[in-house]
Chains A and B, each alone.
Chain A
Amino acid sequence: MGAHHHNQPIQDNPKFVFDAKLKLFTIVLIVIGAVSLGLTYYTGSEHSHIRFWTNLLQNSVFFTGIAFASLFFIATHTVAWGGWQTIFKRIPEAMMMFMPVGIILLGLIALAVSMDANGTDFLYLWSDEEALKNDRLVIHKSAFLNPFNYLLTLVVIGLWTLFALMIRRLSLQQDGNRGLRKVNYEKIHMWSAIFLPIAGFTSAFAIWQWVMSVDPHWYSTLFAWYATVSVWVSAICLMYLLIIFLQTRGHFQYFTKEHTHDLGKYVFGFSVFWTYLWFSQFMLIWYANNGEETQYYFLRFEQFRPVFFLNLIINFAIPFLSLMMNSAKRAKGTLGFMAGLVLLGHWLDYYQMIKPGVWYNWEHAQHAKHEHGHEGHDGHEKGHEGHDGHEKGHEHNENKEQDSHKDHKEHSETYRLTEQDAKPVLTDFQGAKDTHGHDKNGHTNVSPDSAKVEKDSLHDHSHDSTAHAGHDHGTAHTDEHKHDAHATDEHAHDAHAHGPSFVMGIHFPGFYELGTMIGFLGLFLFVTFSFLSSASLMPKNDPYVDESKNHHVWYDL
């Protein structure tokens, strides 16, 4: 009600025209992105390939995720009989149509991974044949992390797209036929209800494959929620930015401060929820201090500290403090600025989910190449598992020795093996701090674990048997492989000096990263605007449209 209290009738233009000027603008953005992405590949730098693949992956996942979250937005609000969002629901309905583009983008990556393109071995360690032979954690997880399951994620986006097409078609049908207003609404309601549980499980599956498998040694049960909430906030921010933009062109004049307030509550609330999940994941890992989990944060904290903290400042501290007050959530300028910032922040969040893991894979492979270039396959493996000289000595022995009794060991000791594998990962980083400490260990062949026993005391009870087994092998064969340990130790200094160095585009987004993001944003906007222009912005026959038009407007503020 309340609309009749307005003095002047509202002039709302429901027809959006994707004019030539705007088209040119988005195409310019796309070109910037394509050029940036292309230049990344051809910079000739030694990390250009991983930089290219990570940029492509990060942006493809991020924007496909936003499209998914838009569909999720429609589905949740419809299932909850929500009405307030109806006047702007054509925006998420257009945004979700980016999903077919997402199939192409992630399809390209899937194709590159299955064809073993240059650099994809570091992007996904599980696609690396050497790792599949030698890295026991990768072998253990290969039943789930494999090219087939990765291709299955394309089917997942395809499934989402089917729901998106169905819901969009039903919604657009209403425009021309008032008789369908109830019938089609109920159908949308039904498809949304079917979609939600499917979305819950499939999004976790997809995000594990796309993003989490970049760190195949890592475990986190919380990751899928954390990553999904990240795109959910981003989708809401982008929705609001699009509304502001379209308002300047005479659309969405029914969009009031109450709608702004509700979207503001979402941005605020889900930023806090994102932080809650971030912290839940962080604190448990930090407290338990299990090597295979801590490694993830250790890497980010030691080598990616600016991104690590910027992520928290942009996505938590700033929106939390500035959107806490009611008036800030209702003000177009404040919320618009925060929406832009938080959108950028969550892009950065995906950046820090992907880059460090790939950098780690690459860096270790490089060390292995230096140290064991002549050994071929073995060198590769050691690169992933930690490259302390003495560790390698042990591993080497073990590999040879274990062949004989591998069969019965492999199944019964899976978990022990995985935990043992994870330990060198941590040792390696601790080694990076005092490079000289373990030279001695290597020569005298003291247990490789001894240096870190204090730090890792939590593990010890579960480790005793395997750890000792490992040491026994080591001591028994020390003499044979002594020269091997020497050789690696000499290179250890090089390797560790490599660690903390700062690489633009890896440790912090560079111009190419920003350019790529702009390009993907342009592509996303191009698709969104195309679909926005093909239908009325006002779903006039939606049963909730009047409620949405007069959303809480009892008085003019």
Chain B
Amino acid sequence: MKTLNKTILYGLYLDDEILMDAVREIREEGKEIWDVFTPFPVHGLDPILGLKESRIHIAGFVYGMFGTITAFGFMTWVFTRDWPIIFGGKPYFSVPSFIPITFEFTVLMAAVGMVITFYLVCGLGPGVTNPYLDPRITDDRFCIAFDVTGKTKEEVESLRGLLQKTHADETNIKDI
């Protein structure tokens, strides 16, 4: 298993609403959160954490345009230059008949391109394993984690107190 060589202090919360309030409160205190783990996507968490909007849709648009131009250009070239054939008595360059394939290829390129980009950016791929803090955060627990590597005992205890104050169900320290 991959290791990060970090010491993590984390608190587990029972509900996404409690988690949201906790994140808000902790950030108001000015403490830096290392990461938050939830068993399902929680709407509105990103702005509270101060995360910037993902740029993957821009990538998706570029891939989509690539698909559109490739498909339309390729069909145009094939049916007007390379191998002109009359289908159903239509002209060589007949736009309506190109549209379904153009559309499909646009969607395919955008979708596959975004998935690959996402995997590359996140460092995911076959054979990759990630250290986990607690198996329950993929089930029914919501987790706020602090990076406490090299921090003093007082600092750790003050963070632990913050977690408990914001209604964490339990707090733990783990080296990962």
Contact = CB atoms under 8 A, between A and B. Distances in A.
Interface of A: 1, 279, 282-283, 286-289, 454-455, 457-458, 552, 554-555, 557
A546 to B, nearest CB: 13
Contact of A279 (B17, B48, B89, B99): B99
B44 A552 contact: yes
B90 A287 contact: yes
A288 B96 CA distance: 12
B88 A555 contact: no
A287 B89 CA distance: 9
Contact of A283 (B43, B44, B99): B99
A127 B90 CA distance: 37
Given A454-B89, A552-B43, A287 B48 contact: no
Interface string B92-115: 000011011000000000000000
Given A1-B17, A279-B99, A554-B48, 10 more contacts: A1-B20, A282-B96, A283-B97, A283-B99, A288-B88, A289-B89, A458-B89, A552-B43, A554-B45, A555-B47
B88 A289 contact: yes
Interface in B135-172: none
Interface string B28-48: 000000000000000111011
Main secondary structure of the interface of B (DSSP, over half): helix
Contacts of A554: 20, 43-45, 47-48
A458 B88 CA distance: 8
A455 B96 CA distance: 18
Q: How large is the interface on B (under 10, 10 to 19, 20 to 34, 35 or more residues)?
A: 10 to 19
Contacts of A286: 96
A283 B100 contact: yes
Nearest to A1: B17
Contacts of A288: 88
Contacts of B99: 279, 283
B43 A287 contact: no
Contacts of A555: 44, 47-48
Contacts of B89: 289, 454-455, 457-458
Contacts of A557: 47
A1 B45 CA distance: 14
* 5 nearest A-B pairs in the assembled complex, by CB-CB distance: A554-B44, A555-B47, A283-B96, A555-B44, A286-B96
Contacts of B100: 283
Contact of B96 (A1, A287, A457): A287
9 contacts: A279-B99, A282-B96, A286-B96, A287-B90, A287-B97, A454-B89, A455-B89, A458-B88, A555-B47
A456 to B, nearest CB: 9
B18 to A, nearest CB: 10
